[in-house]
Amino acid sequence: MTTLGVDASHSPPTPRDGSAGLDRLFSDELFTRRRPTNPDECSHLTYRRMRAVAEYLGEDPLGDDHASLFAALERAAILDPSLFHGLLVHYLLAMGTLTQLAGDRDDLADHVQQLATMTSIGSFMITEIGSGNSHALSGTESVYDPERGDFVLHTPHPGAQKFPPNAAAAGIHRLAVVFATLRVGGRARGSFPFLVPLRDADGPLPGVRITPLPPTSLMPLDYSVVSFDRVRIPFRNWLRDSATLTPDGSFLDPLTDTERLVRSLSCSPAMWAAIAVGCAAVCRAAVTLAVRHAYRRTVIGQLAPTEPVIRYRNQQRELFGALAATYAITSLADRARRPSATAAPGLQKAGAEGAASPWVAVDSTQALTKVLAAQTAEDVTAVCRRASGALGFFSANRFLDYQGLAHAYRTAGGDSQVILLDAARALVDGNGYEPPPAPPAPEQFDLLDRDLWRSLTANRERLLHERLVEDLRKAAEHGEEPSAAWNDCIPQALELADEHAAGLALAMMLEPAEPQQEGVDLLHALYALIRIDKHAAWYQCEGLLSAEQRLQLPDALTLLCDQLLPIAPSLIDSLGVPPGLLGAPLAADDYRTGFLPDGSNERKDAF
């Protein structure tokens, strides 16, 4: 079998931002102090940290194509996932929606200034407790009052309560972007966002009810359930974009209801890029902690007494696999954060009519990147926690914090399964998409041949697409309702969309790039072979992988691990995780004393 060496055509992830200003900010005592155990104190510390970041970002936090904000979010994810979430909601959802839909409207300049300076903390309210992540039509209503020229915001039933915005902390001014069904003259006119002041230093404003949710240990913040009792909203606070109301009360909008919702969610691509950046950051942090620990942790055992645990094959397979996935998702996140990032041809114009959500119609590639990032981060952080033994159990070593962030974003920012299902619908409907053609068999059948990886991935997507289309066609011929047919085909649809997303990652991984780091080609090979191994039985059944090749997979994975063993520490160093951000006992010079006060060697003689 071929042995991979240094391949100059493949690069490691883009070097991490090294801004001295951010380094100083995140090394301040405000950020390095331990998080309080009291939930209220914990939330207020997060908001103090948010305001410190706001002061660093200045008056134009969304400028320079979000580069400064993304760099701050990257550090926030590693240091404090709750801070990451608070900043993401404030800047990319609340402020992002306001600035994109307000255009050049001077009458909203004061609200923009409030969010830019963080004199008010932004909230974003679209999800409702009774309808999960389906946003096609808001239960919350905003009724136009032609006599007074304003709107009445109301929660008509318990299912329409907004859930779970972080808005419960007392003493903090809040400005929310609230999605509601606009009603004009008794008719529903689609879902629009409205700017709604929620509370000031004295508490919730009249008509606003904020019910705190029980504390959670995963990405803790002041989550709540919010409802409205006939709250008056000034006309200017309607983020109407191109829609208008004439003096006689007539409603005009050049967009359909579905197009309007897609337009109102135009902040989503930047949000998805940020989620990918945050998920990649916690992957880098987790794998840095776990791999370094594995090289210095020894066990007393019969197989390799006094040897570091990284000598064990099970540790190599899991941790080097996590390292490979981390490099892959970091490359994908770095692409997503670039201003030039565009949706994949074919799904760019995917319609949202009849879909469960509008996410894919907004930007398919960024939505699928978010799905891959959250899925990868949850897997990587879980592997790193397990591989670290008993030390992985304790929250102080950060794995559970990182796993919590990844788990949250499997649902937050658009439910991953809903996005995959909508992507599958777009793939089946065509929308300019052409499934991969049957590629010619690669001349070499070596498992380390990149042409083989491309061939297997393309063939799997093509065959899954063909069979899903055929099953839906047969259901239609038998008179089955389309919704029932799709329901029966959900497992196949998820498989297809997952494979399509994996193809995006593989294409990104194999893009030519400047040589930067020895061994990255080994990680690419490991990443590809682990996925092939996952579906090896399917490939063999389809005649795409021979029995001999399938039997060679374990040896190929072992060979790659052998080649990575001496260079993995340098690959970890190249991830560039600032040591001060980790703040974990496991990151101490001597992890055995890391739980002592200040990580010192106090009472060293006792060990």
CATH of the domain at 431: 1.20.140.10
Write out the two tokens for 23: 């380094």
- Which phi-psi region, left, alpha or beta, contains residue 203 (left: φ > 0; alpha: ψ -120 to 50)? left
**Is 302 a domain residue?**
yes
Helical packing angle, 313-336 and 490-509, nearest 10°: 80
Instruction: Report the chain's mean pLDDT, rounded to a whole number.
Output: 89
pLDDT for position 443:
66
pLDDT for position 515:
61
pTM here is: 0.92
Instruction: Give the C-alpha distances (Å, rounded to integers) separating 482 from 135, 419, 432, 498.
Output: 21, 19, 21, 22
Residue 495 sits at the vertex; the CA angle it makes with 533 and 548, to the nearest 5 degrees, is 25
Q: Is the pLDDT of residue 473 over 60?
A: yes
pLDDT band at 306 (very low <50, low <70, confident <90, very high): confident
Instruction: Give the C-alpha distances (Å, rounded to integers) separating 3 from 519, 529, 564.
Output: 12, 14, 12
pLDDT for position 251:
96
Among residues 55, 84, 117, which one ends one of the domains? 117
What is the DSSP-derived secondary structure letter of residue 93?
A: I
**Is 601 a domain residue?**
no
- Distance, in Å, from the CA atom of 242 to the CA atom of 263, rounded to the nearest integer, reads 10
Token look-up 């962030």 returns 405
Can you tell me whether residue 83 is helix, strand or coil? helix
Q: Is the pLDDT of residue 2 over 60?
A: no
- Distance, in Å, from the CA atom of 184 to the CA atom of 200, rounded to the nearest integer, reads 30
Tell which wins on pLDDT, 537 or 302: 537
Write out the two tokens for 443: 């001349």
pLDDT for position 104:
82
286 and 195 part of one domain: no
**Is 274 a domain residue?**
yes
Percentage of the chain beyond pLDDT 90 is 76
Query: Closest by alpha carbon to 315, among 577, 592, 564?
Result: 564
Write out the two tokens for 179: 């999605």
For 405-425, what is the mean pLDDT?
Answer: 94
Write out the two tokens for 214: 């029980």
Tell which wins on pLDDT, 362 or 98: 98
Q: Is the pLDDT of residue 342 over 50?
A: no
Task: Specify the DSSP element, H or E, that contains 178.
Answer: strand 174-184
Q: What letter represents residue 263's amino acid?
A: R
CA 305 to chain CA centroid, Å, is 41
94 and 196 part of one domain: no
pLDDT for position 356:
52
- Distance, in Å, from the CA atom of 424 to the CA atom of 315, rounded to the nearest integer, reads 36
Can you tell me whether residue 361 is helix, strand or coil? helix
Which residues fall within 8 angstroms of residue 357, CB to CB, at 6 or more apart? 133, 134, 135, 136, 414, 415, 418, 419, 422
pLDDT for position 133:
66
- Distance, in Å, from the CA atom of 433 to the CA atom of 130, rounded to the nearest integer, reads 34
Q: What is the DSSP string of 215-256?
A: P-SSS---BEEEEESSEEE-GGGB--TT-EE-TT--EE-SS-
342 and 379 part of one domain: yes
Which residues lie across from 231 on neighbouring strands?
153
Write out the two tokens for 540: 């063999």
pLDDT for position 440:
76
At 197-211, the pLDDT tens digits run: 999 999 999 999 999
Residue 88: burial class (beta carbons within 10 Å; 0-12, 13-18, 19+): buried
- Distance, in Å, from the CA atom of 428 to the CA atom of 493, rounded to the nearest integer, reads 9
pLDDT band at 430 (very low <50, low <70, confident <90, very high): confident
At 547-579, the pLDDT tens digits run: 999 999 999 999 999 999 999 999 999 999 987
- Distance, in Å, from the CA atom of 377 to the CA atom of 383, rounded to the nearest integer, reads 10
Q: Is the pLDDT of residue 532 over 90?
A: yes
245 and 170 part of one domain: yes
pLDDT band at 155 (very low <50, low <70, confident <90, very high): very high
- Distance, in Å, from the CA atom of 255 to the CA atom of 244, rounded to the nearest integer, reads 11
Question: Could you tell me the residue range of the domain that residue 49 belongs to?
Answer: 20-117
At 50-63, the pLDDT tens digits run: 999 999 999 999 99
- Distance, in Å, from the CA atom of 498 to the CA atom of 460, rounded to the nearest integer, reads 11
141 and 99 part of one domain: no
Percentage of the chain beyond pLDDT 70 is 89
For 23-34, what is the mean pLDDT?
Answer: 93
Residue 279 sits at the vertex; the CA angle it makes with 583 and 285, to the nearest 5 degrees, is 30
180 and 211 part of one domain: yes
**Is 98 a domain residue?**
yes
pLDDT for position 301:
65
**Is 8 a domain residue?**
no
229 and 282 part of one domain: no
**Is 5 a domain residue?**
no
CATH classification at residue 165 = 2.40.110.10
Query: Closest by alpha carbon to 267, among 100, 62, 35, 450?
Result: 100
For 423-437, what is the mean pLDDT?
Answer: 87
pLDDT for position 46:
97
313 and 443 part of one domain: yes
**Is 607 a domain residue?**
no
What is the DSSP-derived secondary structure letter of residue 358?
A: S
Q: What letter represents residue 335's amino acid?
A: R
- Distance, in Å, from the CA atom of 563 to the CA atom of 4, rounded to the nearest integer, reads 8
Residue 434: burial class (beta carbons within 10 Å; 0-12, 13-18, 19+): exposed
Dihedral angle at the C-alpha atoms of 425, 427, 431, 432, nearest 10 degrees?
Answer: 180
What is the DSSP-derived secondary structure letter of residue 107?
A: G
126 and 108 part of one domain: no
Residue 100: burial class (beta carbons within 10 Å; 0-12, 13-18, 19+): middle
Q: Greatest CA span in the chain, whole angstroms?
A: 86
At 111-134, the pLDDT tens digits run: 999 999 999 999 999 999 998 766
88 and 146 part of one domain: no
For 188-193, what is the mean pLDDT?
Answer: 95
At 65-97, the pLDDT tens digits run: 899 999 999 999 999 999 999 999 999 999 999
Structural domains in the chain (count): 3
pLDDT for position 598:
58
Token look-up 């006309």 returns 235
Among residues 258, 282, 303, which one ends one of the domains? 258
Please state whether beta strands 244-245 and 224-228 pair in parallel, antiparallel, or not at all (unpaired): unpaired
pLDDT for position 134:
65
pLDDT for position 563:
97
At 211-250, the pLDDT tens digits run: 999 999 889 999 999 999 999 999 999 999 999 999 888 9
**Is 9 a domain residue?**
no
189 and 301 part of one domain: no
- Distance, in Å, from the CA atom of 524 to the CA atom of 577, rounded to the nearest integer, reads 20
Which residues fall within 8 angstroms of residue 467, CB to CB, at 6 or more apart? 492
- Distance, in Å, from the CA atom of 259 to the CA atom of 162, rounded to the nearest integer, reads 22
- Lowest mean pLDDT across 143-152, 193-202, 427-436, 568-577: 427-436
380 and 413 part of one domain: yes
Residue 517 near residue 571, CB atoms below 8 Å: yes
pLDDT for position 340:
65
Both ends of the chain: CA-CA distance in Å? 47
Among residues 96, 117, 138, which one ends one of the domains? 117
Q: Is the pLDDT of residue 482 over 60?
A: yes
pLDDT for position 444:
64
- Lowest mean pLDDT across 136-140, 201-205, 317-321: 136-140
